[in-house]
Amino acid sequence: MNSKLYNKTIELPKEIKEYLQSCFDMFPNSDPSIEGHKRNEELRNTGYVTYQQLGRIKNWFDNYVGDGKDAPYILNGADYVKNWVNTTLTDLRSGDDLKYTLKLTYPQLVLGDKIEIPTIEGKKIRVSVPPHSNVGDNLRIVNKGLNRMNQEIRGDKIIILDIEIPKTITDEEKEIIINLKLWILIF
């Protein structure tokens, strides 16, 4: 883990706190020793989470074996919190800015597109990828990064454009790509 992130604290989004409360309400008489009970209470009561805690939560979800309907899974926030944790950890921290790599197809980079990306609040925002974008270009979404501790100031979300190369293609797709390659070489 990046030493700058060690013990770094971020505020839990309101939606996550509310969701954790609804999960807790599903098991009002749960045994405090059940995995997830203590974590749920701690997160709701403090309203903050460290990157260390996010790593431990991710590890718990990654090693979970079950059907997703038992008390430990639900008390830990189920799929909603699991997805939020994964999104948060995927976003690379740079000061209070969050970096997010967006994989696009070649046509999306050349022609431009409107894409929905996740936010740290667990919602989605729509961003416009301009035509003729290159791999490595950055888009900046102001005020969609992390909150500074005890301040109303937020960093930005930096979107790094990348290309997604398909692992397999059909014969028809291969023919189209070959024709495009030939067309590009001619012009």
18 and 77 in a single domain? The answer is: yes
Domain count, the chain: 2
35 and 14 in a single domain? The answer is: yes
35 part of a folded domain: yes
Compute CA 75 distance to the chain's CA centroid, rounded to the nearest angstrom.
Answer: 21
The continuous run of DSSP H or E covering 31 comes out as none
- Distance (Å, whole) CA 147 – CA 144: 9
> Model-level pTM?
0.53
**In terms of residue numbers, what domain contains 70?**
9-90
84 and 21 in a single domain? The answer is: yes
- Distance (Å, whole) CA 68 – CA 56: 18
pLDDT at 96: 78
- Distance (Å, whole) CA 113 – CA 148: 32
The CATH number that applies at residue 113 is 2.60.260.20
97 and 132 in a single domain? The answer is: yes
46 and 100 in a single domain? The answer is: no
pLDDT at 11: 81
157 part of a folded domain: yes
Q: One-letter amino acid identity for 97?
A: D
4 part of a folded domain: no
- Distance (Å, whole) CA 169 – CA 171: 7
Choosing from 67, 90, 113, the residue where a domain stops is: 90
70 and 29 in a single domain? The answer is: yes
104 part of a folded domain: yes
142 and 109 in a single domain? The answer is: yes
86 and 97 in a single domain? The answer is: no
pLDDT at 93: 58
What are 102's strand-pairing partners? Answer: 161
How far is the CA of 126 from the CAs of 105, 115, 142, 172, in angstroms? 17, 5, 13, 31
pLDDT at 1: 42
20 part of a folded domain: yes
The continuous run of DSSP H or E covering 102 comes out as strand 97-104
76 part of a folded domain: yes
Compute CA 176 distance to the chain's CA centroid, rounded to the nearest angstrom.
Answer: 34
Q: One-letter amino acid identity for 160?
A: I
If phi > 0 it is left, if psi is from -120 to 50 it is alpha, else beta; for residue 150 that is: left
68 and 113 in a single domain? The answer is: no
Per-residue pLDDT 10s for the chain (187 aa) are 455 566 677 788 888 899 999 999 998 888 888 888 888 999 999 988 888 888 889 889 989 998 888 889 899 999 989 988 887 876 645 667 888 889 999 999 999 999 999 887 778 899 999 999 999 999 999 988 877 656 677 888 899 999 988 889 999 999 999 998 898 888 7
- Hey, what are 160's tokens? 């790094």
1 part of a folded domain: no
